[in-house]
Amino acid sequence: MEYLSSDMARDRSARCLAEMEAILAAKSFAGKPKARQWRFFRDAVGRLFRGNGHSEFDGLPRVQAAQLKFEVEDKLRRFYLRPGRPPEFVFTLVHESELSAYGIDDAGAYPRLAGYSVLVRDLGEERVGLTDAATEDVQPYLERVVATCVDAEFAAYAALPEIKLDEVGRWFCEDGPAYREIMNLVARHSQRGWVITNPMNPSTKRLLAVKVKRAANGEALVATTEYWYLRWWGTKEMSYVYPYRETNHQLYVLHKEPGGWRVYENLRPPPRSSVPSRWHQKRRKIVAVRAKRGLGT
């Protein structure tokens, strides 16, 4: 997933603005194009292409800006996953503190509104060079499949202690190692009583970059950069038992099945943080020592 610099985006401003208007005109997307979140989105796009003109959202409180950003991003994600004509451009709202993680070299000078910037991808340009594509929109489709798989995996963890793998089964090959890995992890954590849904749990994930490397003969390779923060809470221990916090590069192997493309295997590096069993054993030793000294937990 390669985002355009601000200068490159402005070179495509006419086409980008036309794409934005087409999105906002879709009843299935905006519903009420003059609603506050869509005015915010329109002004954020305008800030990118037209500079620092006045906006009603200048000086917007941080919490309100975050809420508007969430509403826009959630709708955009659903819109891009819909079937039909692939978009020519994809828009993403990103907080100013995260711009460098998205490969924006001019992060300090990149236009922003209420702390958020609009990043743009040119899908038409990215499709050039894709090998053996069954259709011209296979690349954005494969990227959407991987993005949905990331969401499905996180949703399976968030459902614990219940085991809910319906969405995982929909997007992963059930005979593949990626599905079995998630299934085994969910089963183990359910048995342990580990969850990420206790009050104020900070667990989250973010797909920072995704790019199709190859698609040929019913198999595709898709590379990603991902950030995962899973802070597992033990319902038996009534305390946090294991933090998993990683930003890494992953490689998805997808197979084309009768119902569409699905993830067969996910190749990712081992975590840099301690493995759960060792971390948990170390914690028990610390608790025991503190108890002996009368320090409590």
The segments of the chain whose pLDDT lies below 70 read 1, 52, 81-85, 124-137, 273-297
Return the sign of the alpha-carbon dihedral for residues 241, 246, 249, 252: positive
The conformational region for residue 265 under phi > 0 = left, psi -120 to 50 = alpha, else beta, is: beta
- 243 has which bridge partners? 231
Domains defined for the chain, CATH in brackets: 6-126 (no CATH), 138-292 (3.10.450.50)
Supply the pLDDT for residue 206.
93
Supply the pLDDT for residue 280.
52
Whose CA is closest to 1, among 110, 122, 138? Answer: 122
Q: Which residues contact 139 (CB under 8 A, 6 or more apart)?
A: 123, 126, 127, 130, 133, 212, 215
Supply the pLDDT for residue 84.
63
Supply the pLDDT for residue 52.
67
Whose CA is closest to 104, among 229, 1, 206? Answer: 1
Alpha-carbon distances, residue 27 vs 5, 21, 286 (angstroms): 30, 12, 58
Return the sign of the alpha-carbon dihedral for residues 46, 14, 210, 183: positive
Supply the pLDDT for residue 139.
85
